[in-house]
Amino acid sequence: MATSAGAFIWRWIKRIFLFCFISSFLYIIICKWIMPPVTITQLSSLIEGDGLKRDYVSKEDISPNLRLAAMASEDQLFPNHNGFDWKALEKSLNSNPKKKGRIRGGAASTISQQVAKNVFLWQGEGFMRYVRKVPEFYFTKMIEWIWGKQRILEVYLNVIEMGKGIYGAEAAAEAYFGKHAESLTRKEAAMIIACLPNPKIYTVKPISRFVSWKSNWILRQMNNIEDDEDIKSLTY
């Protein structure tokens, strides 16, 4: 009897796993062409009373300055890695003199990992962070294979939180500078990206001390990497 019950439970576990895999795979494919309608982080923002300001735009409507600033600050190796910053990547970059001026960046995760977490999963530290690691690996690899770098960067700059209740480049540009994302200057782009470690605390307007310091660091990094051919292929 116990064996039959165990087999029944195992059969249902496999069915649930298969359903989750197929549904997530289909959603990944859909999001290659259509922006995610809502994310868990955005829903949390509404529930917590921060509001939800967003306006998805195509990559052509996002300033090259913002794309460059994002890579300069968050993931300078983004064009070359396969979603994760492993030692093999460091070895391959060290063998290429053109890449020696590029560093990892300030974020704990690659841009690809941040997209996987923000679009498909949830935020949070502690125990839930470790629970998230396996699905984060899966979604990161899948978007690398299915979306490609241009789409990952485009989605990143549309869904990432850039202020309390402010999501994406267009909403941030409108809120802070009263302009469209395509018109952001280098300094404005650096200021927006500088708040990303904690956009609820590190404010762009009024500018916090951290954003003031970090934006200047980002500007220097933008100057350092902008002539790299791999970076340029994703910037313009």
pLDDT in tens, 149-164: 999 999 999 999 999 9
Same domain? 126 vs 20: no
Same domain? 10 vs 47: no
Q: Which domain holds residue 206?
A: 39-235
Q: Which pLDDT tens digit goes with each residue over 171-216?
A: 999 999 999 999 999 999 999 999 999 999 999 999 999 999 999 9
Same domain? 83 vs 25: no
Number of domains forming the structure of the chain: 2
CATH number for 190: 1.10.3810.10
Same domain? 20 vs 59: no
Q: Which pLDDT tens digit goes with each residue over 60-108?
A: 999 999 999 999 999 999 999 988 876 544 544 554 545 555 555 555 6
Same domain? 20 vs 124: no
| Closest by CA position to 90, among listed 111, 81, 79, 98 | 81
Same domain? 16 vs 64: no
Cβ atoms 70, 111 nearer than 8 A: yes
User: What's the distance, Cα to Cα, between the start and end of the chain in Å?
Assistant: 65
Same domain? 55 vs 172: yes
